[in-house]
Amino acid sequence: MQSQNRVFEDLSKVATSAMGTMAGVGREVETMIRGRVRELVGGFDMVDRDEFEAVKAMAATARADAEALKAELAELRAAMGSANPSPAAAPAGGSAPIV
């Protein structure tokens, strides 16, 4: 009986070390694949997600600024239009000069 338990213990140790070895090989293969994929993707001139998000935020800010400037310009044109009610006072270009 004692020898039978020893055989099972030895088989258990061998299986455990084999599983540890296979896990190490799996991690090594995963690391190699990740490196190859990074090399491949790096050649495509793609941007990182962080860079994309930064440019997206800059574009949203620029869009909001442009809308604010359009509104301000419309207000200025309306104010200048009410200050010069006669069309004869307007310059030949059709719009009032912006000062």
**In the chain, what is the straight-line distance between the N-terminal and C-terminal CA atoms, in Å?**
105
Q: Which residues contact 33 (CB under 8 A, 6 or more apart)?
A: none
Average pLDDT over residues 77-84: 83
pLDDT of residue 82: 78
User: Which of the residue ranges 14-28, 54-68, 80-94 would you say has the lowest mean pLDDT?
Assistant: 80-94
pLDDT of residue 58: 98
Model pLDDT for residues 21-55, shown as the tens digit of each residue:
888 899 999 999 999 988 887 777 778 899 999 99
Rounded to two decimals, the pTM is: 0.41
